[in-house]
Amino acid sequence: MTEIGTYVYAIARDADSPDPSGLEGVAGAPVRTVEQAGLVAYVSAVPLDQFGEEPLRRSLENLDWVADTARAHHHVVETVSEAVATAPVRLVTVYTGEEQVGALLERRHDAIAEVLSRVAGRSEWGVKAYAEQVLSPPPSSGDDQGTENPGTAYLKRRQANLRDRNDAWRHAVGEAERVNAALAAVAVASRRHRPQDPELSGREEWMVLNGAYLVDDDRADEFATTLDALRGQGLDLELTGPWAPYSFTDIDLNEASDEL
């Protein structure tokens, strides 16, 4: 018989927390709740032959598996966060049973409650800024060929191209800083994720900003207006959200590691 573990998605306050019935989690399992100390954890049962330590090591190498799990995880987090202030839990957090999750809620109550207070009535918005890549201009028509040998001319051209490219980068990065500062001024908090590789973003342009902003829900319109005012000034700005406050609910790790 396969042992069963408890996968944790998100934590909210018990009051006003949505009923999870009908909600599916990872591996299609029904989502349940564990209530303790005024908090509620959204969990589902997972077979440890897939979610135990050794199987996870293998599974986590498989990006398709990771993608499916991440989407299922995100779906639960998002559903809960649409209804109530939510602290998402990081992917593949698995306990050996619901009692352990209850004990966790008891033990970490204060830190979790503080995080939930911080994100209540607020949503995370994502803003990415893209800059058009500066490509090397076509080879020079040969005006300077008379006096310099071809090697020197080539190196000079290449140097000039690199300078153009560098200038373009610097300019775009400077613009991104300006955008970030303007948006952060409307937000309660802001974080910057690492810019995504074109392979992941699906766009050829340079990503020069990948920001996350925690915004009061009653200032969401103002945030969007601020963003719109920054458009058309060189950077292509992309807004995503509202997200569950993933980027603003980290709890101090040192405290967490004391538990082991």
Partner 1 sequence: MTNPVRPGSTAPQGYGSRSLAGRETTNLGDILERVLDRGVVIVGDIRVNLLDIELLTIKLRLLIASVDTARELGIDWWEHDPWLSSKDHDLIEENRRLRRRLTSLEEGEPGRIEAGTRSRVVREDRD
* 144-173 residues near partner 1, rule: CB under 8 A: 166, 169-170, 172-173
Q: Would you state the structure tokens that stand for residue 242, as one six-digit string?
A: 């509202």
Contacting residue, 2, 96, 136, 159, with partner 1 by CB under 8 A: 96
Minimal distance, residue 112 CB to partner 1, in Å: 7
The answer to whether 65 contacts partner 1 (rule: CB under 8 A) is: no
Q: To which residue do tokens 């979790």 refer?
A: 112
The answer to whether 186 contacts partner 1 (rule: CB under 8 A) is: no
Contacting residue, 4, 37, 48, 120, with partner 1 by CB under 8 A: 48
Stretch near partner 1 under the rule CB under 8 A, chosen from 32-40, 119-127, 136-144, 149-157: 119-127
Round to whole Å and give the CA distance between 69 and 65. 6
Interaction residues for partner 1, span 214-253 (CB under 8 A): 217, 220-221, 223-224, 227-228, 231, 238-243, 246-251, 253
The answer to whether 13 contacts partner 1 (rule: CB under 8 A) is: no
- Which residue number, 153 or 246, has a Cβ lying nearer to partner 1? 246
Contacting residue, 38, 67, 159, 182, with partner 1 by CB under 8 A: 67
Round to whole Å and give the CA distance between 64 and 60. 9
- Which residue number, 21 or 257, has a Cβ lying nearer to partner 1? 257
Exposed / middle / buried, residue 87 (Cβ in 10 Å: 0-12, 13-18, 19+) = buried
Interaction residues for partner 1, span 127-146 (CB under 8 A): none
Round to whole Å and give the CA distance between 26 and 163. 49
Minimal distance, residue 137 CB to partner 1, in Å: 19
Q: Which region, left, alpha or beta, applies to residue 22 given φ > 0 means left and ψ of -120 to 50 means alpha?
A: left
The secondary element (H helix, E strand) that includes residue 162 is helix 150-186
Contacting residue, 93, 118, 164, 184, with partner 1 by CB under 8 A: 93
The answer to whether 201 contacts partner 1 (rule: CB under 8 A) is: yes
Burial 17-53 (b: 16+ CB within 10 A, else e): bbebeebebbeebebbbbebbebbbbbbbbebebbbe
Question: How far from the centroid of its chain's Cα atoms is residue 52's Cα?
Answer: 25
